[in-house]
């Protein structure tokens, strides 16, 4: 097989699977570790993929949707790195904390697994998150109102004005993408003010970003990456990106793959 054919085969597998590991390339194409790494480096330089710690993921267009989409009905289909990040975030909670949970897959995982041993007040702009928390007697919920979008979330001026009157111990936040240079980014401009007001209201801001969102850019920048105090990601995130985040003064927390496998 010519190298060009192997490169195309790697891209085909990446499109089918959503990610590919260096070990899989070695096994499938009977090549060494250095050759597999070189293939991925060449393809990344051509703008055809994004290298990670252990392989590669697709390079998303800036207008592409979020890498993962989850509702309560298909929660079990989400990749294990999402659950592992959510559980790590929960380990940072303290009794009587006032926290914000995001209207996203990671926020839903956190709401679903909030420990019964802690008394918490949760602020959210998502009716899905609020409904998940409603039966929990040890959790009080402050639902940010306003004009609701089709996903059941509120980002408008009413929600923002309410946020300005609140102070949070911990804000758990995620967005479509994050990169060292473009910062936190999303697809639509409507939520920019909401996100920044949210961060302004928090004593500590903790970013929840699986590998799929690291080092990628969406259309609109929300704010610089260093507005995060802590960034939680998984074992496959690019070491180059994480080094740049670290240089910006962000504390990096990396989930170990063995811990994630043990939780499945």
Q: Where are the domains of the chain?
A: 3-57, 72-263
Report the CATH fold assignment for 3-57.
Arc Repressor Mutant, subunit A (1.10.10)
Between CA 10 and CA 55 the distance in angstroms is 11
pLDDT at residue 68 is higher than 50: no
Find, among 84, 102, 101, 109, the residue nearest to 234 by Cα.
Answer: 84
Q: In the prediction, which pLDDT does 91 show?
A: 96
Find, among 212, 256, 261, 258, the residue nearest to 237 by Cα.
Answer: 212
- 7-11, 14-18, 73-77, 192-196: segment of lowest average pLDDT: 73-77
pLDDT at residue 66 is higher than 60: no
Distance, first Cα to last Cα, the chain: 38
pLDDT at residue 94 is higher than 50: yes
pLDDT at residue 40 is higher than 60: yes
pLDDT at residue 76 is higher than 60: no
pLDDT band at 78 (very low <50, low <70, confident <90, very high): low
Q: Which CATH number fits domain 72-263: 2.30.30.30, 3.40.50.1360, 3.40.50.2000, 2.60.40.1510?
A: 3.40.50.1360
Q: In the prediction, which pLDDT does 70 show?
A: 43
- 31-45, 51-65, 74-88, 194-208: segment of lowest average pLDDT: 51-65
Q: Establish whether domains 3-57 and 72-263 are of one fold.
A: no
């Amino acid at each position: 097989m010519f190298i060009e054919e192997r490169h195309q085969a790697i891209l085909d597998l990446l499109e089918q699977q959503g990610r590919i590991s260096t070990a899989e390339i070695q096994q499938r194409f009977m090549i060494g570790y250095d050759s597999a790494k070189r293939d991925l480096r060449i393809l990344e330089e051509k703008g055809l993929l994004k290298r990670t710690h252990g392989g590669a993921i697709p390079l998303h267009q800036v207008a592409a949707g979020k890498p993962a989409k989850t509702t309560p009905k298909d929660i079990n289909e989400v990749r294990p790195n999402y659950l592992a990040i959510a559980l790590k975030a929960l380990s940072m909670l303290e009794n009587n904390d006032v926290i914000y949970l995001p209207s996203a897959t990671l926020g839903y995982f956190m709401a679903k697994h909030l420990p019964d041993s802690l008394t918490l007040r949760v602020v959210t702009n998502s009716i899905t998150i609020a409904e998940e928390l409603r039966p929990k007697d040890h959790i009080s919920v402050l639902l940010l109102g306003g004009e609701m979008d089709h996903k059941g979330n509120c980002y408008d001026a009413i929600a923002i004005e309410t946020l300005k009157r609140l102070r949070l111990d911990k804000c758990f936040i995620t967005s479509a993408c994050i990169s060292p240079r473009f910062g936190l980014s999303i697809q639509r401009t409507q939520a920019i003010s909401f996100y920044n007001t949210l961060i302004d209201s928090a004593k500590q801001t903790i970013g929840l970003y699986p590998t799929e969102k690291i080092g990628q850019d969406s259309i609109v920048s929300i704010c610089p990456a260093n507005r995060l105090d802590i960034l939680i990601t998984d074992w496959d995130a690019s070491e180059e990106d994480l080094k740049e985040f670290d240089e910006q003064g962000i504390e990096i927390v990396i989930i170990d793959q063995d811990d994630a496998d043990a939780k499945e």
